[in-house]
A = this chain, B = another copy of it.
Amino acid sequence: MPASTIQLKSRVLIGAVATLAGPKESQGPLKKHFNKALRDDLLGLTSYELAESKIHESAIRYLLNKTNYMPQDIDLCIAGDLTDELYATNFAMRTLEIPFVGSFGACATYGAAIALAARIIDASVFKQRIICSVSSHFSTAERQFRFPLELGTQRTPLAQWTVTGAGAMLINKTEGRIRIESVTFGRVVDWGVKDANNMGGAMAPAAMNTMIRHFKDTRRQPRYYDLIITGDLGHTGALLLKQLMYERSYDLDQTNYTDCGVLIFDRETQKVEQGGSGPACSALVFNAYVYKKLLEGSIGRVLLVTTGALISKTSCLQKQSIPAIAHAVSFERI
């Protein structure tokens, strides 16, 4: 049986990252770390989808500016978001002349894109560069997956708050001090959770599945990593993951384990119930916070496990359970 974790053969490096955070995210605990904080989440446009698209595009443009690359210098962009048919991403890519493949993996998209890009760059000549980018927007997600915003529906205790923002990463072979060491693609796992407001519960088994495969394939213990960070399980989902892992003899309490959904908002003051979600959640927290800690050297090895609840409103209305997926990427300071 092939190992499901691939260790990269060459140095695949993070060239640079960019983050654009929405108004609520910019008031949270990580407010100092974002490249750009938006004051208005509609940006004067006529729809939230167009606003999300603009945010996505701006994150990529910010990354290009930062690195002094032109769109023509980029070989491929692997990108996605939560909107149906990737409305936000596709429209963002209209204005950028970059070859593009759309990826959908719900909130796990960032990890999937990085893992694909890393494997392609591993095989590439030196000048090749791939951008991975994701976006999400509270107002596009809420009305797509749940209720019209105008209804003012009461949120349930297990709900999460979709992060507004976008994150982008340049992956290349020549520049950077953080390398992508290995990747573990996720499998779809479905333990029968049917509550569309309990995404943490749906995703925790998928995170466990990917993490355990990663640890077994690499013969590592969780403590190998200075930080293990899941995408957006939220407070209760993260507890559930710890419990599931503990039952299988992996004690995350003995490690520096946390969750992007937990970190991005202040639960006490920001009324987000379980924390943040959306593809931008892990992208903002990784790019703005974890990457910075890696660069500073306060941590050296990180396992990012982005998690996605593969929920559709159609499958929900048809009373189906929620499949979930998680992709793991191991980063190392060099």
Contacts and interface: CB of A to CB of B under 8 A. Distances in A.
Interface stretch (A31-39, A85-93, A258-266): A85-93
A119 interface: yes
Copies of this chain, count:
2
Contact of A187 (B97, B104, B127, B325): B97
A208 interface: no
A104 to B, nearest CB: 5
Nearest to A311: B85
Interface in A88-115: 90-91, 93-94, 96-106, 112, 115
Contacts of A2: 72-75, 127-129
A186 interface: yes
A327 B128 CA distance: 18
A119 B149 CA distance: 43
Contacts of A98: 187
Interface string A21-53: 000000000000000000000000011011000
Interface in A174-197: 184-190
A323 interface: yes
A102 B90 CA distance: 15
A151 interface: no
A83 interface: yes
A185 B99 contact: yes
Given A101-B185, A104-B104, 8 more contacts: A76-B185, A85-B311, A87-B312, A90-B312, A91-B315, A93-B323, A102-B310, A123-B123
- List the 10 shortest-distance A-B pairs measured between CB atoms, nearest first: A123-B123, A99-B185, A85-B312, A93-B188, A90-B310, A87-B312, A84-B84, A102-B104, A104-B104, A1-B72
